[in-house]
Amino acid sequence: MMQRDIAVNLVPTPRPAEAVLAGLNVSFQSADPKLAMRITERLAALFLEENLRDREMQTVGESQFLDAELADVRRRLIELETSLEALRAQSRGAQVSQADLLPYEVLRERYRALLVRREEYRSASNLERRELGEQFRVAAAARLPERPVGPSRLGVNITGALMGLGIGLAVVGVKRRTRVD
């Protein structure tokens, strides 16, 4: 039942060329303004917690991927080194062919690039953890309205009474005319 009273609106960035959101507008409507304020604050806190959890999971996933990729390339690099050593031993001092060295060099460069990428990612990840609170924050806290939202009950009641009186008088006037004629 509360779901229909919750509203979450996306706030686009002022620069439409960027494909990012400026934020979210979270609101809750209730007859009790204090309850609405508490629920809105809790909803905003849940959004913040979920965003933090998502970012942490993304960081863990990326780190695990890089570690697995590094382990695989390292294993293949060691296998190539072993096969090159065996090839050198077989050739007894003769120079190893460039065709045999090229895959080793390529794999070594890939391993080096992955190491650099992992270290850059760890640095960026540590920096992001420190700034995470700034990524998603409450711009305007929930507050009680200064005046009620929507029409006042007294105004609706008075308007309804006057309209009922007007319709009643109109019906009486029509009935009198039909009797006179």
* Position 169 in a domain: no
71, 171 contact by CB (below 8 A):
no
State the amino acid at position 179 in one-letter form: R
Q: Which of 55-69, 88-102, 132-146 has the lowest mean pLDDT?
A: 132-146
**Sign, Cα dihedral of 32, 47, 50, 6:** positive
| Cα(69)–Cα(77) distance, integer angstroms | 12
* Position 91 in a domain: yes
- Does the pLDDT of residue 20 top 70, yes or no? no
> Can you give the pLDDT at residue 75?
95
Helix 33-91 to helix 98-135 angle (10° resolution) is 170
Greater confidence (167 vs 178) lies with 167
| Cα(85)–Cα(107) distance, integer angstroms | 16
* Position 180 in a domain: no
Q: What is the pLDDT of residues 103-156, one digit of tens each?
A: 999 999 999 999 998 888 888 777 766 665 445 566 666 776 676 667 778 888
| Cα(125)–Cα(167) distance, integer angstroms | 71
Residue 25: φ, ψ to 5°: -115, 110
Task: Give the domain extent around 60.
Answer: 2-143
> Can you give the pLDDT at residue 40?
85
Mean pLDDT of the chain: 81
Provide the number of structural domains found in the chain.
Answer: 1
pTM of the model: 0.49
> Can you give the pLDDT at residue 87?
85
| Cα(56)–Cα(64) distance, integer angstroms | 12
* Position 163 in a domain: no
139, 47 contact by CB (below 8 A):
no
> Can you give the pLDDT at residue 162?
94
* Position 63 in a domain: yes
